[in-house]
Amino acid sequence: MKRGLLLVLTSFSLLLTACSDSNNNVAAYIVTVSADANGSISPGSTIVDKNQTIAFTITPDAGFAIDSVSGCEGSLSNRTYTTGEITEDCTVSASFVAESVFAWHESLSMFTPTLSSVTPVDAYRTRATSAQASITVGDIAYTVFFQSNGSSVQPYLLRTVGDSIAIWDEDTSTFNTNLSTGDTIGHGGSGASASGTPAIAADSVGNVYITYVHGDNTPDNHIYLNRYNATSNDVEIWDGDSGAWSTTLSDADDSEDGIDTGVSTTQAASLPSIAINSHDDVFITYVQNSDAFVTRYDSSATEIQVWDGDTSSFSTTRDSGDNTNDLIGRLTPHAFSNTTLVVAGADIYFSTVQVESNAQSDTRISLSRFNAVTDQIERWDSGNTSFSALLTDGNDDTDFIDAGGSGVLSNDDAASPVLSFDSASGHIYLVYEKEIQGAANQTHLLMSRYNGAAVQYWDDDTGSWSTTATDGDDLTDTVSAGSSNKEATNARTAHVSNGDLYIAYLLENATNNNNHVYLSRYDISDITLEHWDEDNNAWDTDKGNGDEDADAIDDNTAATIISSELDILALNNDDIYIAYNQDLQGGTNSHLKLSRYKASTETTEVWNNDTASFSATQTDADQLSELTSTNVTLAGVTPDILQLNNGYLVISYIQVRTEQALGNTSHLQLSKVRVSTTN
């Protein structure tokens, strides 16, 4: 067999023709490439043997993202576009789009780059929104929020698809783009209100579950559960009376319809958290009468079940799970103040904050898990170095998993645990705040982990993990940059593809003790804790090189600038995005801002409105929220930053709008950010 190839060369072009064998059968085809002006494709146009594939690298210019790649029946993964088997001449085409920030404008029914006269996305134009939480399902974002309807505070559900925003309209049982038609997804009975912060999660088939605290007809606060059923396209609420989902939301208006353990009027619940495991079972933890419990929605049995420690099983009888033996943390003493949970495949891990039994009565952190193999709740028992389902195990002060140990320090309270699961290693990480003696009892960040065999504590003195709790409890072991006089709080964590753990947090700067956003990471392969050193534009294991004013990844140039609530997101290209509130005038002018760590170039950048691009100069940081200076983000409410599959980020946040037409009150707002999701 031989191939024929005709090449015609000029100073401007190269002409390729398909190749044939001696029998004039086509043996190869031309794959032509076509890219617009803001990026490139490599290699260029080429000849490919019949039935073979070829991979192209798609590279956007700086400040641009891949918009679309098509042709030759191929697929895109990160920046690599791989064709299908080539059976004819075909063309691979790529287009690119500028990285941009967009805000919702109701008059245009679309997101635009104009950040002034931004329209809120909640149900009422003159009534206050107080809390929100978001989740993404593919290219769709769902946001649940609490808003006053004039007589009570109710939960509402918003959906964002492409350039369309719609709210759940119970009258038509559909999502309606006319936001004023929005109806509560709660039971709405007896004038009772929702309170606290809602929690939201999605299962593998796109069902969206929402849990929250709501008053009932007693009126007492209980935990309720809604879901958006992706099959029937209906919003449903769990009706405890019938033991089934109901589309008649008013069916769930009494204490029997709550999903917590307390049926009586004296058992008020609070602080719900939610997670869904790989079996699509839904787990909700909460605090009730200062105790921590767990409820499960068993998706295969279609049952609400509470953990009953007396029988070591889940029970459909709610009040069987309301005594001391049913707790998910240590059984004694009580006084729980926080629960968090994280999915690890079919298993679920829980962390709880509670008071220890020593004379200091410090708050400590315990670790429990749902073991999907045994269908048991187990507590970490340090004496046996294992998880145990026995009620007698895991109840000593030595079983807490925060560093320090029982009675080692006075006033060594632990708080605000952040759990994460590294799918690359299978390890569970816990970053938490702790008061450290010798640092004027100031708060710093420490780190523990469960590596599948033991609980370990980060010991920065040796640069390694230790199974001895007192090895990880002093100032040299903090995972935050800085010295003893700089408090660190508000940690948020995210894992990238290789398992590295990024930690964003607030740290007091040296000049005026104002909080700013700093970034540290645990490098899983090198077993090192590193801190971003902006002076050298590099990671540094020396805490002192990452704690200067200039090392913050937000704007820290003026004494009046203070950063507060933040959220973190790791993209599939390992870029890290941090959305946060930043006050520009010492407490009177807070706005939403966005910083990122660009993994491919190892630089930190901030969004700059003047150039409509990301800038490596921190002082260029501009707000993403409504530009009017008197419209400030609501204190105490954390923004949510999420990634859609179409290359956009969605940030939901609450901003006080001072316009008369908007009631001079707080409202839910959305920003969309088009970024490069490839390296």
Per-residue pLDDT for 407 more than 80?
no
Give the pairing of strands 90-98 and 26-35: parallel
CB within 8 Å of 385: residues ≥ 6 apart = 453, 454, 467
Average pLDDT taken over every residue of the chain: 88
Q: Using alpha carbons, select from 564, 616, 569 the residue that is nearest to residue 589.
A: 564
Q: How far apart are CA 633 and CA 12, in angstroms?
A: 56
Confidence at 543, pLDDT banded by 50, 70, 90: confident
Q: Which two tokens stand for residue 607?
A: 């969004």
Q: How far apart are CA 70 and CA 91, in angstroms?
A: 8
Query: How far lies 9's CA from each of 5, 14, 16, in Å?
Result: 13, 5, 10
Specify which of 200-209, 512-521, 640-649 reaches the highest per-range mean pLDDT: 200-209
Per-residue pLDDT for 23 more than 80?
no
**What is the predicted pLDDT for the residue at 456?**
97
Q: Which helix (H) or strand (E) holds 34?
A: strand 26-35
Query: How far lies 505's CA from each of 386, 458, 472, 547, 620, in Å?
Result: 31, 18, 19, 12, 21
CA 551 to chain centre: 24
For residue 89, the tally of other CB atoms under 10 A from its CB is: 17
Confidence at 3, pLDDT banded by 50, 70, 90: very low
**What is the predicted pLDDT for the residue at 9?**
29
What is the percent of the chain where pLDDT is above 90? 64
**What is the predicted pLDDT for the residue at 441?**
63
Q: How many helices (H) and strands (E) does the chain have?
A: 0, 52
List, for residues 338-369, the tens digit of each pLDDT value. 889 999 999 999 999 988 766 567 888 999 99
Is the pLDDT higher at 404 or at 449?
449
**What is the predicted pLDDT for the residue at 215?**
85
Answer positive or negative: Cα dihedral of 149, 152, 157, 162.
Answer: positive
**What is the predicted pLDDT for the residue at 319?**
81
For residue 440, the tally of other CB atoms under 10 A from its CB is: 10
**What is the predicted pLDDT for the residue at 5?**
33
What is the rounded average pLDDT of the residues 667-675? 95
CB 7 within 8 A of CB 47: no
DSSP assignment of 602-663 equals TEEEEEETTTTEEES-GGG---SS---TT-EEPTT---EEEE-TTSEEEEEEEEEE--GGGT
CA 610 to chain centre: 29
Beta bridge partners of 522: 501, 529
Q: How far apart are CA 326 and CA 7, in angstroms?
A: 79
What's the one-letter identity of residue 237?
Answer: I
- Which range (2-11, 506-515, 566-575, 622-631) has the least confidence? 2-11
Q: How far apart are CA 196 and CA 282, in angstroms?
A: 20
List, for residues 573-629, the tens digit of each pLDDT value. 899 999 999 987 656 678 999 999 999 899 999 999 999 999 999 889 999 988 776
List, for residues 446-481, the tens digit of each pLDDT value. 999 999 999 999 998 899 999 999 888 877 889 998
- Specify the DSSP class assigned to residue 330: -
Confidence at 332, pLDDT banded by 50, 70, 90: low
Per-residue pLDDT for 14 more than 60?
no
**What is the predicted pLDDT for the residue at 253?**
76
Strands (E), 139-255: 140-148, 153-161, 164-169, 174-176, 194-202, 208-215, 221-229, 234-239, 244-246
**What is the predicted pLDDT for the residue at 411?**
58
Task: Say how many Å lie between the first and final Cα of the chain, rounded.
Answer: 41
Per-residue pLDDT for 1 more than 50?
no
Burial of 589 (0-12, 13-18, 19+ CB in 10 A): middle
Name the residue with tokens 């029998």.
Answer: 23
Confidence at 500, pLDDT banded by 50, 70, 90: very high
Answer positive or negative: Cα dihedral of 597, 598, 600, 601.
Answer: negative
Q: Which two tokens stand for residue 315?
A: 């029970």
What is the rounded average pLDDT of the residues 286-304? 93
List, for residues 65-114, the tens digit of each pLDDT value. 898 899 999 998 878 999 999 999 999 999 999 999 999 999 899 999 99
Q: Which two tokens stand for residue 373?
A: 């193999």
Rg from Cα positions in the chain: 27
Answer positive or negative: Cα dihedral of 191, 197, 199, 200.
Answer: positive
Per-residue pLDDT for 132 more than 70?
yes
**What is the predicted pLDDT for the residue at 437?**
61
**What is the predicted pLDDT for the residue at 587?**
60
The pTM for the full model equals 0.91
Q: How far apart are CA 252 and CA 245, in angstroms?
A: 10
Q: How far apart are CA 565 and CA 623, in angstroms?
A: 14
Is the pLDDT higher at 572 or at 143?
143
What is the rounded average pLDDT of the residues 627-637? 79
**What is the predicted pLDDT for the residue at 262?**
73
**What is the predicted pLDDT for the residue at 329?**
80
CB 427 within 8 A of CB 451: yes
CA 545 to chain centre: 29
What's the one-letter identity of residue 597?
Answer: Y
Per-residue pLDDT for 120 more than 50?
yes
Per-residue pLDDT for 545 more than 90?
no
Per-residue pLDDT for 44 more than 90?
yes
Confidence at 484, pLDDT banded by 50, 70, 90: low
Angle at 355 between CA 350 and CA 406, to 5 degrees: 95
Edge to edge, what strands does the sheet with 282-288 contain? Answer: 269-276, 282-288, 291-298, 303-308, 313-315
- Which range (266-275, 321-330, 354-363) has the least confidence? 354-363
For residue 601, the tally of other CB atoms under 10 A from its CB is: 13
Q: How far apart are CA 428 and CA 658, in angstroms?
A: 44
3-state secondary structure 243-268: CEEECCHHHHCCHHHCCCCCCCCCCC
Largest pairwise CA distance in the chain:
93
What is the rounded average pLDDT of the residues 6-10? 31
Confidence at 191, pLDDT banded by 50, 70, 90: confident
**Domains annotated on the chain, with CATH:** 8-98 (3.10.20)
**What is the predicted pLDDT for the residue at 251?**
85
Confidence at 387, pLDDT banded by 50, 70, 90: very high
What is the rounded average pLDDT of the residues 653-668? 92
Strands (E), 460-556: 464-466, 488-495, 501-508, 515-523, 528-533, 538-540
Burial of 396 (0-12, 13-18, 19+ CB in 10 A): middle
Is 544 strand, coil or helix? helix
- Which range (9-23, 198-212, 314-328, 511-525) has the least confidence? 9-23
What is the rounded average pLDDT of the residues 329-337? 71
Is the pLDDT higher at 336 or at 79?
79
List, for residues 411-439, the tens digit of each pLDDT value. 578 999 999 999 999 999 999 999 876 55
**What is the predicted pLDDT for the residue at 15?**
47
